[in-house]
Structure 1
Amino acid sequence: MTETDTVTHFDDAEPTDVDPAETEPPRGARGRRTALIACAVVVVAAVAVVGALGLGGGEEKGPSAPPRAGSVVPVTRATLTERTDVDGQLGFGTEIPLPVKATGTVTWLPQQGATVERGDTLLRVDDRPVVLLYGSMPMYRDLALTSTAASSSVAGSAESGSGESDTGTGAAASPSPTTGTETGTGTGTGTGTGTAAPAPLTGMDVLQFETNLAALGYTGFTVDEKFTDATARAVKRWQKSLGLAETGTVGVGDVIYSAGKVRIGQPGARLGAAVGENTLTYTGTARKVVVNASAADAGWAVRGTVVGITLPDGKSVKGEVASVGRQASAPEGGSSEGESGAGAATLPVTITIADQKSVGRLESGPVTVEYVGREVKDVLSVPVAALVALAEGGHGLETEDGRFVAVRTGLFADGNVQVSGPGVDEGMKVRIPE
């Protein structure tokens, strides 16, 4: 149109020196350009139609769902472990009263939290030290050179021995006609002894004490079950080091036995009070964890079971179940039956920590204990996210090529799930939809 207007304008204007042949393009060229423009319009329209219809080059395909997004993972064979967390308390265990057998007035007590080892003084009664020794047998009698029981037996024999048995022969006594006195003849013999050699004190408690005495450096005797003169001499040296009278006899209240060194707990008596059953308490020196486990679900709590412990500072350490209480108790304000439910009752589970250094300086605080509830080995598994709900019910897996395979599910653990079924094989690729 512009070109036409221009030509018309030139026809009405004044004649010039310009040659019309130089300003007007040839009719053939102008026709070709018009044809090219028309072709371009047709091509653009065709492309738009193809794009709108979703057609394109390449292999023709039948109608199908649009491609699904998501990653593809293989079905793997593995061991699945179900882990459960329970709350616990880090500490030194339950405080136990020391079996103090000394009688008198408490004149000295150690500080709470102090560690007492073999040969150390636990407390003083009437200003006499009560010493800690190691062993499992409690002190139940005095240890001395002779046995009190044996001496009593000997003394009883002496009282009934002399003259009790008497035999004799002779004429009957008759009054003398001249003197008026009775005369007679006869002989008699008696059986019995008035004295006996004292029996040495023997027993397993002697062996236990002598073992401790030797461990403290007081030797010169044979460590056995007999309390001999050599033992008594070693006892005197030990008593001298304690500031006691050198008697060679160990009183029943002079020592207390424990399995090892102890940590002093809360005192149950004040200075100046009379000694009682709860005068002093103790615990072991190793930190441990106590869990009040549900009595209805305490099957995991078996002695020797290894568990994981998460400390208050977030650090994880290993523990081992050492003991399980046999008496269930209900929490305060509830009962094992009734409104609180049967699962309210708990059992105390004590867990030891072998590597005490791994705990650092922590002495107490709340912890989390992780134990293995169930475990299945050598099973097929996939990530839980790979499961899809099937229209006909149940679960299935979508294969890499878009098929769906029904599966049976088993244990869920650590983000994976156990799967099985006739169409599931190890290594099969399944899709995790986004």
Structure 2
Amino acid sequence: MVTGAATAVLLAGGGAAAFIMTGEENGTAAASATAPAATAEVTRSDLADTEAVDGTLGYSDRRTLPNHAQGTVTRTRDEGAVVRRGGWLYRVDGRPVVLMYGDIPVYRTLSSSTSGRDVRQLERNLKALGYDPGAVDEDFTWETGQAVREWQEDAGLEETGTVDAAQVAVAPGPVRIAEVTAAAGTSAGQSVVTTTSTRRTVHVDLDSADQRLARAGAPVTVDLPGGGSVEGRITGIGTVAEPVEQNGQPTGESTIDLEIILDDAGKLGRLDQAPVTAHLRSEVREDVLSVPVEALLALREGGYGVRLADGRVIAVETGLFAAGRVEVSGEGLAEGVEVEVPRT
């Protein structure tokens, strides 16, 4: 509690605009403002400091899919189409390039003379597609070859009993056709399509000076182009700073990549490469008391105070300033207590 003749002066910092208070010997004070003050409650909640940054809404894991089929592109899927295991990505000379799941690219021809983890990956896919390769192991057996032939017949491929990169492309899961880079009727070059995962994400080129905002798992609120917002969390933080250039010249600034995964993809429609605003939380204080910033009074003897609805001015310790509120603590403060704020 403030004792003696205490005077609160105008608080200029932190975005606050406190009105002038004059104290009396018993600690009560009266506003010198002509209009009576309004009141606001002391609340208890989590308080988070946020900063708005520009981002791009799209899909994660964008990559140019290598092509190993030779010939003419005869069919492609529409951009935005989703391809799952066993589905065709595009066709060359009328034959499909088929998607299978895994993390090992097809880097050699798989046949009865091969064994290894890539064989196990192939057999796992065949089994998932309803073909019986025998024991799912690292050995390409006669049964494996027979399952391959049956799959090739159903897929519209030449029934060779062997598998190579001209027939199969590998991804960790379903992919989305982001861009067709070789139209039907053109030669199949190094790539025919660019793909992404089906997971919605926001990419942020975060100024390296703001790395304090990059905390893995931290919650994020993203404002959407059509209005509304969606919650998400930071799942990827780049470890290499990338120089920023303007007109081909370095600016001396740099950014790090930030990936944000969103919780409710149903709100996002099919927007891709759309600009959004991400609100990153730089600091969170849990279960604290707070008041509107404008309730603060700068005390003549130093520090800050607030004026209670009964006229008493009490000194407070301040903490985090965020969202127009400030964390406070002090004797006589409790959730639900009314403090004065300037009437607007």
Q: Same fold (TM over 0.5)?
A: yes
User: How far off its partner does 1:299 sit?
Assistant: 2.6
Residue deviations 1:325-360 (CA, integer Å, cap 9, x gap):
3332315346352xxxxxx42222121224322324
Matching residue within 81, 86, 98 for 1:131: 98
Matching residue within 49, 54, 59 for 1:92: 59
Partner of 1:181: none
Aligned pair count reads: 310
Matching residue within 192, 196, 206 for 2:119: 206
Q: Summarize the alignment of residues 17-166 of structure 1 with structure 2, pairs less than 5 Å apart.
A: 69-73=36-40, 75=42, 77-93=44-60, 95-145=62-112, 147=113
Give 3-state SS (helix, strand or coil) of 2:246's partner: coil
Does the Cα contact within 8 Å between 1:143 and 1:206 map onto a contact in 2? yes
- Output the CA distance in 1 between the equivalents of 2:264 and 2:39: 43
CA distance 1:307–1:67, shift in 2 (3 Å): closer
- Structure 2 residue 250 is matched with structure 1 residue 335: yes
- Output the CA distance in 2 between the equivalents of 1:277 and 1:66: 76
Q: Which has the bigger relative contact order, CA under 8 A and spacing at least 6?
A: 2
- Output the CA distance in 1 between the equivalents of 2:183 and 2:71: 13
Q: Which has the higher strand share?
A: 2
- Structure 2 residue 134 is matched with structure 1 residue 221: yes
Residue deviations 1:292-327 (CA, integer Å, cap 9, x gap):
212111233233222122212222222122222333
CA distance 1:129–1:396, shift in 2 (3 Å): same
User: How far off its partner does 1:101 sit?
Assistant: 2.4
- Structure 2 residue 329 is matched with structure 1 residue 426: no
Partner of 2:295: 386
Identity of aligned residues (%): 43
- Output the CA distance in 2 between the equivalents of 1:142 and 1:228: 14
The residue type paired with residue 426 of structure 1 is A
CA distance 1:384–1:310, shift in 2 (3 Å): same
CA distance 1:376–1:251, shift in 2 (3 Å): closer
Structure 1 gaps of 5+ residues are 1-63, 148-200, 338-343
Partner of 2:218: 305
Does the Cα contact within 8 Å between 1:407 and 1:424 map onto a contact in 2? no
Give 3-state SS (helix, strand or coil) of 1:233's partner: helix
- Output the CA distance in 1 between the equivalents of 2:150 and 2:38: 82
- Output the CA distance in 1 between the equivalents of 2:111 and 2:283: 58
- Output the CA distance in 2 between the equivalents of 1:66 and 1:122: 73
Give 3-state SS (helix, strand or coil) of 1:246's partner: coil
CA distance 1:267–1:425, shift in 2 (3 Å): closer
Matching residue within 152, 157, 161 for 1:239: 152
Does the Cα contact within 8 Å between 1:312 and 1:367 map onto a contact in 2? yes
The residue type paired with residue 158 of structure 2 is A
Matching residue within 352, 355, 379 for 2:264: 355
User: How far off its partner does 1:98 sit?
Assistant: 0.8
Structure 2 gaps of 5+ residues are 1-28
- Output the CA distance in 2 between the equivalents of 1:75 and 1:264: 52
Partner of 1:197: none
Partner of 2:14: none
Partner of 1:326: 239
CA distance 1:243–1:314, shift in 2 (3 Å): closer
Does the Cα contact within 8 Å between 1:335 and 1:345 map onto a contact in 2? no
- Structure 2 residue 302 is matched with structure 1 residue 397: no
The residue type paired with residue 218 of structure 2 is T
- Output the CA distance in 2 between the equivalents of 1:65 and 1:321: 48
- Output the CA distance in 2 between the equivalents of 1:236 and 1:379: 66
- Structure 2 residue 290 is matched with structure 1 residue 377: no
Which has the greater radius of gyration?
Answer: 1
The residue type paired with residue 373 of structure 1 is S
- Output the CA distance in 2 between the equivalents of 1:424 and 1:209: 70
User: How far off its partner does 1:66 sit?
Assistant: 8.3
- Output the CA distance in 2 between the equivalents of 1:251 and 1:431: 76
- Output the CA distance in 2 between the equivalents of 1:272 and 1:425: 76
Residue deviations 1:213-254 (CA, integer Å, cap 9, x gap):
111111262222211111111111112223333221113321
Give 3-state SS (helix, strand or coil) of 1:298's partner: helix
CA distance 1:425–1:306, shift in 2 (3 Å): closer
Partner of 2:199: 286
CA distance 1:225–1:409, shift in 2 (3 Å): same
Does the Cα contact within 8 Å between 2:106 and 2:164 map onto a contact in 1? no
User: How far off its partner does 1:388 sit?
Assistant: 2.5
| RMSD of Structure 2 on Structure 1 (CA) | 2.9
User: How far off its partner does 1:257 sit?
Assistant: 0.4
Q: Which has the higher helix share?
A: 1
Does the Cα contact within 8 Å between 2:126 and 2:133 map onto a contact in 1? no
Q: Summarize the alignment of residues 230-269 of structure 1 with structure 2, pairs less than 5 Å apart.
A: 230-269=143-182
Does the Cα contact within 8 Å between 1:267 and 1:280 map onto a contact in 2? yes
CA distance 1:377–1:204, shift in 2 (3 Å): same
Structure-1-length-normalised TM-score: 0.63
CA distance 1:233–1:81, shift in 2 (3 Å): same
User: How far off its partner does 1:134 sit?
Assistant: 0.9
